[in-house]
Amino acid sequence: MLLTSLNPAVVAAGADIADAVTIGGTTLSRSDLVGAATSVAERVGGASRVAVLATPTATTVLAITGALIAGVPFVPVPADVGAAERAHILTDSGAQAWLGELPADPGGLPHVPVRLHARSWHRYAEPHPDAPAYVMYTSGTTGAPKGVQTSRRAIAADIDALSAAWAWTPDDTLVHGLPLFHVHGLVLGLLGSLRIGNRFVHTGKPSPQNYAAANGTLYFGVPTVWSRVAADRQAAAALSSARLLVSGSAPLPVPVFDRLVEITGHAPVERYGSTESLITLSTLADGERRPGWVGLPLDGVQTRLLDDAGDPVPHDGETIGHLHVRGPMLFDGYLNRAEATADVLAADGWYRTGDVAVVDEAGMHRIVGRESVDLIKSGGYRIGAGEIETTLLGHPAVAEVAVVGLPDDDLGQRIVAFVVASTAAEAVPDELIEHVGQQLSAHKRPREVRLVAALPRNAMGKVLKKELT
């Protein structure tokens, strides 16, 4: 029951909150949200899937909430999406309409606008827990992004497990400034707040100043956000009055952890997960928070650590293995991609995360890295090297290319493209960067394009990415 806390009966019983959701300069009370979102539900009912351009606005919140009330799966489209990626998402998902904001090029789909001031008090029955809530596109090492199908049951299980781990209650005010097209900002931040019934504040840009001004109890951020907060002593000090600072989506550097402790008095909670699995591991509100470690399995989660031969490795805090997870929050497979699904999700429910980890005797997990150099994490965004390479090869100035994530103090990794220019056109780095932004998403643009005479290759002709530094 995803939206119990939005039940109009609860609102009518006096549980209204004047500032349930604050986003993009608009504040919605709980009854505003229920009334306006139910009116959205009335207009999308019957659609098989709708696309939502996930800008951080009240329109997006109402579009998503309305789709959830109606039981229509939504497809969050990155707010900064480019032409090729948008076309892929629309075609692959089979979305029938845009709900809410419209992109510059709607790609021929009809538009269902969201009316902020419309109200309906119709009571919808809660859809079946196995019904899909959304299809969210995420990058793999190669090829176009895949649509991750997630059920209402999975979302509810994850939020409830996090509520237990973090002592998250309706008394909290949750603050973040993250995108609403990924699990972190959308599922945990927005849907979490709707289910728990706490106040939700979206800060717009997740700048240290905006976090400091938001007066929250529970703050979410990716490590880049926490690193910027920790570098701003005044802003960080303002978070001392919060209850819990939570970091995830990428490794939190130990010096950032230590500096947050020093300035705010709070050891951040770290948690780990993915678009496919939702959050599966976390340190606890009332447990040990160890720098560099992402905690214990959440309620209902099992993990296993296997060597290359598929045998278990010891939980000694040192031996590295491939991390698999199992639990009620896992996805239902990639849309239209049975083979890709079977590669990572076993029939008995184990999900191969693609991460390597260690576990200690107490069950604490530390993520050591990823199996593939071709999945890059930059600013918490997951970016497939192959997708950017294919896009750059589509530019006439590019003969050969290798994209890598190089270490970056601010972003964790920054995207760098090593390009061998073709003779057909002049290779101008800024133009190539812009080309990626126009085709894929602004956040997938390489930070740097380096023109090189040749790429390092082994005897088989395979590019030796580890030599690109």
Query: Which positions lie near ligand AMP, rule CB under 6 A?
Result: 138, 183, 248-251, 270, 272-275, 294, 353-355, 367, 370, 377, 382
Site residues for ligand MCA, 95-114, by CB under 6 A, read none
Q: What is the DSSP string of 113-141?
A: ---TT------PPPPPTTSEEEEEEE--S
Contact with ligand MCA (CB under 6 A): which of 30, 86, 152, 184? 184
Q: Shortest gap between Cβ of 302 and ligand MCA (angstroms)?
A: 18
Using the structure block, give the residue that is written with the tokens 């919060």. 242
Residue 153 binds to ligand MCA (criterion: CB under 6 A): no
Nearest CA among 128, 132, 116 for reference residue 39 = 116
Interaction partner, residue 127 (ligand MCA, ligand AMP, none; CB < 5-8 Å by kind): none
Contact call for residue 146 and ligand MCA (CB under 6 A): no
User: In the Cβ-directed half-sphere of 179, how many Cα atoms lie within 13 Å?
Assistant: 21
- Distances 305 to 121, 319, 374 between C-alpha atoms, Å: 50, 9, 22
Q: Tokens for 37? A: 């979102």
Q: How far apart are CA 469 and CA 77, in angstroms?
A: 33
Contacts of 167 (CB under 8 A, 6+ apart): 244, 285, 286
Does 445 contact ligand MCA by CB under 6 A? yes
The CB density around residue 70, as the number of other CB atoms within 10 Å, is 22
Whole-number Å distance between alpha carbons of 347 and 301: 16
Residues 357-386 that bind ligand MCA (CB under 6 A): 379-382
Of positions 21, 51, 69, 178, contacts ligand MCA by CB under 6 A? 178
Residue 132 or 380: the one with the smaller Cβ distance to ligand AMP is: 380
433 binds, among ligand MCA, ligand AMP, none (CB under 5 to 8 A by kind): ligand MCA
Q: Which of 55, 96, 149, 275 binds ligand MCA (CB under 6 A)?
A: 275
CB 217 within 8 A of CB 244: yes
Q: Which partner, ligand AMP, ligand MCA, none, binds residue 44 by CB below 5 to 8 Å per kind?
A: none
Of the pair 43, 382, the CB lying nearest ligand AMP is at: 382
Task: Pick what 185 binds: ligand MCA, ligand AMP, none; C-beta below 5 to 8 Å, kind-dependent.
Answer: ligand MCA
Pairwise CA distance, residues 317 & 345, whole Å? 26
- Closest of 191, 236, 198 to residue 217, by C-alpha: 198
CA distance 89 to 105: 13
Q: Which is nearer to ligand AMP, 71 or 223 (CB)?
A: 223
By CB under 6 A, tell whether 224 contacts ligand MCA.
Answer: yes
Q: Could you tell me which stretch among 12-20, 268-276, 303-311, 459-467 binds ligand MCA (CB under 6 A)?
A: 268-276
- Total of residues contacting ligand MCA (CB under 6 A): 25
- Residues found near ligand MCA in the complex (CB under 6 A): 178-179, 182-185, 206, 222, 224-225, 248-249, 273-275, 379-382, 433, 442-443, 445-447
